[in-house]
Structure 1
Amino acid sequence: MRVAILGCGYVGRELGRQLLAAGHDPIGVRRSSEGVAAIESDGFEGVQADVTESPSLAVVPDVDGVVFAASSGGRDAEAAREIYVDGLETAIEAFGTREDPPERFVYTSSTGVYGDHGGDWVDEETPIEPTTDKTEVLAEAERIALEVPDRYGIDGTVARFAGLYGPDRYRLERYLEGPVTEGYLNMIHRDDAAGAVRFLLTDDLAREETVLVVDDEPADRWTFADWLAEQCGLEPPEKRTTDERLAEDDLSEATRRRVSTSKRCSNATLRGLGYDLVYPTYREGYRDAIEQFRRERGRRP
C-alpha cells in the first residue's frame, strides 16, 4: 500500500516507519527541506510540498491512501483554519481530482472537540461541543474530512487523538514539580497514535467513520502525578482543586478553559476493531522516561 503522509512530523514519521517495516510504501510530505531530510533519515521517501498550495502537491506521486497529519504549530485559530480547513480542502481536491485518486483519506483530529463533560465518559456517539475558536476549527475540519472526500469517490476517516506523549514529549517536570490541578488526562503514546492509523489503513477499517484513539485508562491527574513522583523517587507534588486554580489572577482564557475541562474518553471502538495497544496505560508508556530520569538523577553530583 502506498500512503502519502501530509505534514509528516511527530506522529507522521512514526507512521511512516511502521508502514515501511510492514512492507508498505510511505511518502512523507513536508514544507521544508529540513523536514524532508528528517523523513529520509528514517529510510522512506520524502517530498517537499505545501498542503495549502494545490500546485505544490502535484509533485506527490499517486497513492492508495492519504493521511492528513499537518500541524498549525500551536498558533491561533486563524493559523489553524489555514492548515486544518483551507489546507485540508486543498489537499482533498488536489488528490481527488487526479486521474487515479486514492481510496482512503484519514484526518487526524483531537479529543478537544468534545469540550467539558464534568468527568463523564465520551465516545464516538457523544455530540461534540467545541468551546474555543481553535476547537471549532477542528470540528469543521472533521466534517470536511468525512463529507468532502465522498465527492471524489474517496472514503474519509477521522482519527480523533487524545493527548500525545512519547519520546521528547513526556513533560515530566510539569507533574513532578507541580502544582497539579485535579481532573482527568486522556492520553495516547505516539507509537500507538501512529499504530492505530496504520491499522485502520492496512486492515481497511472505519471507512467514513470517526475513531477515538486513546489508551485504556483515563488518568486522574493527582493519581498520575503521585505515581510518577513515586517511580522517580521524589515527594508527591503540590495539588490544587479546580476552584483554587481558577482563583489565580494570571491565567489566560485558554488556560482557564483547559483547567475547567474534564472528560474520560473511551477506546471501546478502537479495541473492538482489534487494535492491540503497545502502551495500554501511562504505566507502560512512561517507563522509558522514568528510567532515563533515574539514570540522569543518579549521575548528578
Structure 2
Amino acid sequence: MPSIQSPLGALPSRFKRQRVLVVGCGDVGSRMVAARGSVRWLALTSSASRMAELRALGAVPLLGNLDRAATLNRLAGVAHRVVYLAPPPSEGWSDPRAAQLSQALRRRSAPQRAVYGSTSGVYGDCQGAWVAETRALSAQTPRAQRRVHAEQTLRTWGRASGVPLSVLRIPGIYAPNREGGTPYARLLKGTPVLRAEDDVYTNHIHADDLARACWLALWRAAPQRIYNVSDDSQLKMGDYFDMAADLYGLSRPPRVARDSAREQLPVVLLSFMSESRRLVNQRMKQELRLVLRYPDVQQGLRSI
C-alpha cells in the first residue's frame, strides 16, 4: 500500500510521534500500520503468536483480550488516538467488548480522538433507496444488532468522557491481497445469484481506501459524527458477479428466484441477499477529504 500522507504536515516533532492504538489489527489495521505515517503504532492482540508479526509490521504489540476485562488495564492512557476495528462476539444481541474497552480507556487520561469501524448493515433493508448517515437504524440481523449496540456504547462513552468519537459504517470490503477479498472463489463454485427482478443493491470499499479512511478520520472527523465509507459503485449483486466473471474469464453465475435461493443457499449468504441499499458517501469525501483510489469495484478488480 502506498504511503499515507500525514495530515500533521510540518508540526513540531513532539506532535508527530503521537501514539495510535489499533484494536483489531487484522487486514485493514495492518494496512494502516504498514503505511506508517508519522506516528508510533500500538496494536492490541489476543494472540502471543502474532506479536512478532506486528513488530515486523512496525507496531508495538500489546497482549490483551477484549473478552477478558482484566487484560485491558494496560490500555489506559497508552495512546493519543484509538482505532477500534475488532468485531463483536459471534453470538448474542449486544457487544460487551465495546463496553469493556471503553471502560479500560477511561481509567486514565482519555484519548484525544477515537474511531470505530461499524457496518452499513445497521441500516437494514432500505429497498434500494439511497441511504445517508441521517437515516434511522433498522438492523434486522443479530450481527447488525451487535454493531448497533457497539455504536451506542462507544458514542455514549465519547460524550461522557469528552472524547471526539467518529463511527465509520462500512459495506463489503474487497482487495486482491485480502483473504476472500475477491469473488473469484465463489464464481468457481458456481454459487447462484438472484434473478434481476429479485436482486439487491450492494456496496463496496477497497481495503486500501478503507485503511486511508480510518487514518483520515483520526485527524479530520467531526466529533460524534457518522460516515458512510463506500465507493461510488451502483451495482446490484448479480451484476457485480457477472462483471467479475467476465473480468476473470469465468462463467457467469446462475440466476435463481428468491424462493429457490432459500432452498439452495446458507442462511448467512441469504441475509446479505435480503437487504438492498445504496450508500451516500458525500460526507466521507467532503469532511474526511478522502479521494478514492478505487472509485468503483471494476477499477479495483482490474487492478488485480
Q: TM bucket by the smaller chain?
A: 0.7 to 0.9
Cα displacement (A) at 1:223: 2.2
| Secondary structure, aligned partner of 1:4 | strand
How many angstroms apart in 2 are the aligned matches of 1:174 and 1:126?
32
> 1:265 is aligned with what amino acid?
L
Aligned equivalent of 2:166, options 157, 169, 175: 157
How many angstroms apart in 2 are the aligned matches of 1:257 and 1:236?
22
Q: Report Cα offsets for 1:108-148 as digits up to 9, x if no partner.
A: 10011111111111110111101122211211111112122
How many angstroms apart in 2 are the aligned matches of 1:47 and 1:95?
14
TM value normalised by structure 2: 0.84
How many aligned positions are there? 277
1:298 equivalent in structure 2: none
Residue 286 (structure 1) aligned with residue 301 (structure 2):
yes
1:179 equivalent in structure 2: 192
Q: Which stretch has the larger CA shift, 85-94 or 233-242?
A: 233-242
| Secondary structure, aligned partner of 1:77 | coil
Cα displacement (A) at 1:253: 4.5
Residue 117 (structure 1) aligned with residue 130 (structure 2):
no
1:15 equivalent in structure 2: 32
1:63 equivalent in structure 2: 79
Cα displacement (A) at 1:67: 1.3
Q: CA RMSD in A?
A: 2.0
Q: Report Cα offsets for 1:203-260 as digits up to 9, x if no partner.
A: x3222111111111132223222222222223332222434424x2x55554443322
2:146 equivalent in structure 1: 137
> Share of identical aligned residues, percent?
26
Aligned equivalent of 1:198, options 215, 221, 228: 215
Contact 2:192 2:261 (8 Å CA) reproduced: no
> 1:7 is aligned with what amino acid?
G
Aligned equivalent of 2:92, options 65, 77, 82: 77
2:249 equivalent in structure 1: 233
How many angstroms apart in 2 are the aligned matches of 1:137 and 1:170?
26
1:93 equivalent in structure 2: 103
> 1:170 is aligned with what amino acid?
T
Structure having the larger proportion of residues in helix: 1
Give 4+ residue runs of structure 1 displaced > 6 Å after superposition.
none
Aligned equivalent of 2:280, options 266, 269, 272: 266
> 2:63 is aligned with what amino acid?
Q
> 1:197 is aligned with what amino acid?
C
